[in-house]
Amino acid sequence: MSTYRSRARIALASAQSELASNEDHRLKYAALELRMAIEAVTYDRASAYKSEFPPKEYETWQPKKVMAVLLEIDPTADSDSTISFGIESSPGEKPEVMHNLGKEVVFNIKAIRRHYDALGSFLHVPSIKQTLSESTPSPEIVRKRCEEVSRDLDKVLASQVFNSTLGIFSSFDCGECNARIRKRIPRDKNEVIADCFRCMASYAIRRTLDGRFEVDARTEEIPCPNPGCGHPKPIYPREFSQGVHWVCNKCGGRNEFQLGILHQPAG
């Protein structure tokens, strides 16, 4: 069991203990523990996509943003699933007998949007507007919300299988830095873009007619702007950025991308 899944169980148990006290002043502690449990199960889900999760997103901690990144990687990342297996009588034939390994319940983005911020609102002193309008949530409302979230998390943590990420993948070494690149290929797409997480390289992965994959570097040849040179340099799309530069192999000059303003006279 992952560290995050263990943390989620501990946080959920603490929340349930606070709810079982039946003391209204302890509801805020239940809400806090439930928020932490939501964070933990979301981070646990993200850990299953570690090789596909962009390192620049590691600083993201809000569950909504984490799950949004996962859904960009895999549109089924927050979907419940059932895993079963069977023996085919012949290749491609559906097995007559299937053996169920279990069902996975995921705390999906809809549930995160519905509950996470709502729980957070219970952790603050009511605003002046809430006080004047007498719209402060009652203990009954807070308890009902916490109990609903608790039940949902119970189902997630009771899953017999979890963090299954089945899919079709293409793996290859980056031509620039030799880092291993692993990219998920959706069944309904014949071409995807894969960026190297270590350097600026970018690649197009195309599905061939025989079901294999071809990988091509995504570059555009930019001529050296030196009027007496013009020697081309292959540039990756992510290199078209302020301050990025290269040294021309022909004239030795330094070429740097900069923002500029072009003035056109009136008339």
What's the mean pLDDT in 62-84? 92
- Considering the chain, tell me which residue range(s) the CATH 1.20.120 domain(s) occupy: 3-89+97-157
What would the mean pLDDT of 198-220 be, rounded to a whole number? 91
Encode pLDDT of 100-145 as tens digits. 889 999 999 999 999 999 999 998 887 778 777 777 888 999 999 9
Contact 163, 45 (CB under 8 A): yes
> What does the pLDDT read at residue 267?
65
Distance CA 91, CA 127 (A): 64
Task: Select the CATH number that applies to the domain covering 3-89+97-157 from these four: 3.40.50, 1.20.910, 3.30.720, 1.20.120.
Answer: 1.20.120
The arithmetic mean of pLDDT across residues 64-91, rounded, is: 90
| CB-CB contact of 18 with 30 (8 Å) | yes
Residue 203 contacts by C-beta under 8 Å, 6 or more apart in sequence? 172, 181, 193, 194, 195, 196, 215, 216, 217, 218
The mean pLDDT value for 206-219 works out to 90
Confidence of residue 5 (pLDDT cuts 50, 70, 90): very high
Q: What is the mean pLDDT of residues 162-183?
A: 90
Residue 18 has a pLDDT of: 97
32-72: pLDDT as tens digits? 999 999 999 999 999 999 888 888 777 778 999 999 999 98
pTM of the model: 0.80
